[in-house]
């Protein structure tokens, strides 16, 4: 059950309890003034992390005391920082509370998760793909991918079909690979495409030798 603002007390000493109260509910207003996502761990091989909302006394950074509290029973993977002009979402007396996102992993979180089949994997409702996280935008669920519909010339589509038949690579991987190269986003290249690129480089080196 969501608590009203005046019932959401942020206490550094019981920050772990507060996280459980807020659960997986990240409000749109929490995202409005985000400026930056700070990652404390290497997220390149993490299939998902928990995206939750926590109250802070500051817009940026995390004190050592708060970091220690947040690390109890979980790993703090990253957190959001707010813009300089971000207003507090809650004020109690002289205290201003800024609600910010944090990204965590609990012990044994991945035990029931199948990386090879995320659509049927067992993951919490607050799980998001860390590579999809951006300031002001919620992360994508591990079981969901962004989709786009585009119209392509018939000749280009014919070439795509021939390429798929010749290489065995799916249409999706071919299109994602083309977008990744065009947008200079090598980290988003499908694994099969990375292997093919590596084989080309090896073949070119063998010719030179």
Q: How many residues can be counted in the chain?
A: 209
Average pLDDT, rounded, for the chain: 77
Tokens 């019932």 correspond to: 7
Phi and psi angles of residue 102, each rounded to the nearest 5 degrees, phi first: -130, 160
Q: Is residue 179 domain-shared with residue 92, that is, in the same domain?
A: no
pLDDT at 119: 56
**pTM above threshold 0.95:** no
85: number of CA atoms within 13 Å, CB side? 1
Distance CA 74, CA 108 (A): 10
Q: Is residue 115 domain-shared with residue 51, that is, in the same domain?
A: yes
pLDDT at 109: 86
Q: Is residue 87 domain-shared with residue 177, that is, in the same domain?
A: no
Q: Is residue 201 over pLDDT 80?
A: no
Range of the domain at 31: 5-132
pLDDT at 1: 32
% of the chain at pLDDT higher than 70: 70
Q: Is residue 100 domain-shared with residue 163, that is, in the same domain?
A: no
Q: Is residue 139 over pLDDT 80?
A: yes
Inter-CA distances, 206 with 141, 195, 200, Å: 43, 17, 10
Q: Is residue 180 domain-shared with residue 93, that is, in the same domain?
A: no
Q: What mean pLDDT do residues 6-12 have?
A: 35
The answer to whether the beta carbons of residues 9 and 97 sit under 8 Å apart is: no
> Helix (H, G, I), strand (E, B), or coil: what is residue 185?
coil
């Amino acid at each position: 059950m969501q608590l009203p603002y005046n019932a959401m007390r942020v206490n550094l000493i019981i920050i772990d309890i507060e996280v459980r109260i807020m659960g997986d509910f990240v409000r749109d207003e929490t995202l409005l003034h985000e400026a930056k996502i700070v990652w404390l761990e290497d997220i390149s091989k993490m299939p998902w992390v928990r995206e939750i909302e926590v109250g802070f006394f500051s817009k940026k950074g995390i004190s050592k005391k708060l970091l220690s509290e947040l690390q109890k029973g979980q790993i703090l993977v990253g957190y959001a920082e707010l813009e300089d002009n971000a207003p507090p979402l809650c004020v109690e007396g002289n205290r201003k509370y800024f609600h910010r996102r944090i990204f965590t992993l609990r012990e044994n979180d991945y035990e029931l998760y199948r990386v090879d089949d995320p659509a049927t994997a067992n993951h919490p409702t607050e799980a998001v793909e860390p590579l999809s996280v951006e300031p002001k935008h919620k992360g994508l669920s591990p079981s969901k991918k962004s989709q786009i519909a585009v119209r392509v010339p018939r000749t280009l589509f014919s070439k795509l079909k021939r390429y798929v038949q010749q290489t065995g690579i799916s249409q999706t991987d071919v299109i994602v690979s083309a977008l990744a190269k065009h947008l200079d986003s090598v980290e988003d290249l499908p694994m099969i495409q990375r292997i093919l690129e590596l084989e080309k480089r090896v073949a070119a080196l063998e010719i030179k030798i």
